[in-house]
Amino acid sequence: MTKDLLPNKRRYFGTDGIRGHVGTWPINAEFILKLGWAVGRVLARQGGGKVLIGKDTRISGYMFESVLEAGLSAAGVDIHLLGPMPTPAIAYLTRTLRAQAGIVISASHNPYVDNGIKFFSSLGTKLPDEIELAIEEQLEQTMTTVDSAELGKAVRVADAPGRYIEFCKSTVSSDVNLNGLKIVVDCANGAAYHIAPNVFRELGADVIEVASEPNGLNINLNCGAAHPKILQHYVLQEKADLGVALDGDGDRVIMVDHTGQILDGDELLYIIAKHRQEIGMLKGGVVGTVMSNMGLEHTLATLNIPFTRVPVGDRHIMLELKKLNWFMGGEPSGHIICHDAITTGDGIITALQVLSAQRYYGCSLSKLKSGLKKYPQVILNIAVNHSSDVIGKPNIQALVQQVEKELGKNGRVLLRHSGTEPLIRVMVEGIDANRVTEFANKLVDAVKAEII
């Protein structure tokens, strides 16, 4: 795979909404105020209705919640404020509370100095492209305010956490319980801090909480799915059966077995798919991305489970799931969609699906993942401060082709721009770990030379 997946060419919206450094355009109060207004104007033309706003725990969420509320109100739209809630919870509540849209204030796994805005439709799915484009067009217009009698009103939804806890528990069979399991739950000091531990506790587990005391500045700080070392440490120290690490907005998960070994999204997908196939609940196959390990594809093939790849991003995964009428897809990062349960990636629900498999087979996570033989894979990131097409330069493409030729049919190369951070990602995969590392470093050096 040599084709570069270039960044979205729209002015504001990226792979997952609008994201950036707080205080730097467009992630500043002035722009987000107008964004709220633009969203409200576009939704009003489609018939109107209430909009939900939820957020993670980063300190800038207070500011952006207020200005979004003001912008929507100025456009004549009513607002229901959810407070700190996981991204998938907002998707779920948007659908069940019959809202016209849901807005999430979060930068997911990024540090607190970043923030972002992403949206859900009334169906709990990402906004269609035409709606995002309509919002961008509206942003170019002069902001106005409706007549005072038509201003939107705002209310707080006090029972949102309880609603979502009950929903999460409902996604596993009523005969599944976690009695006797000691689980370490790392909440990344993020949006799931008051939800995830309670879900596992109410299902019977002995829960040890980690990173569940957010202060606005410590979200994702050396914790959570992007930094699993703290989870590994506590699983071993507490002699726990397993660990669960969410990211700041709760839409992705990484797990750790009792030996301290990490299970990434590929391994979690494998466990869930195998279990569902065995109990007759796997519909179709599995959707992965260009980052999914070749070992997952090959192992699923031995189980006669179809597998297909799409570009990185849950939007692409969802589109493919709908197209094929399948239920399961995800990324190595731990962003996994169980489409028969929820319309977006959900770290808590993914963990529950894995635990359901663990209880079914009656063995450790270490044993469960052992059937998946992953290929050595190296992913390196290169910081960039511009969007020029370095990847497309002839000498870079020539080097990619040379490396792919040397790797042969059991290896591959991918160079792509991140859709959420100013990075170029270099991925090399193959049979020989040493050669994979050597090739990855060679490609990184070549790209860096072009950037300079």
Active site residues: 108
Half-sphere exposure of 372 (CA within 13 A, CB side): 26
Give me 307's structure tokens.
């597998």
Cis peptide before 311 (omega within 30 of 0): no
Give me 225's structure tokens.
């799915």
Rounded Cα–Cα distance for residues 55 and 89 (Å): 10
| Residues whose CB falls within 8 Å of the CB of residue 183, separated by 6 or more in sequence, listed in order | 200, 205, 206, 207, 208, 240, 241, 242, 243, 244
Strands 18-21 and 206-210: unpaired
Rounded Cα–Cα distance for residues 151 and 76 (Å): 4
Rounded Cα–Cα distance for residues 230 and 359 (Å): 25
Give me 43's structure tokens.
């939704």
Cα distances (Å, whole numbers) of residue 294 to 1, 188, 451: 12, 29, 30
- Give bridge partners of residue 121 from the DSSP assignment: 101
Rounded Cα–Cα distance for residues 168 and 141 (Å): 41
Give me 363's structure tokens.
């063995």
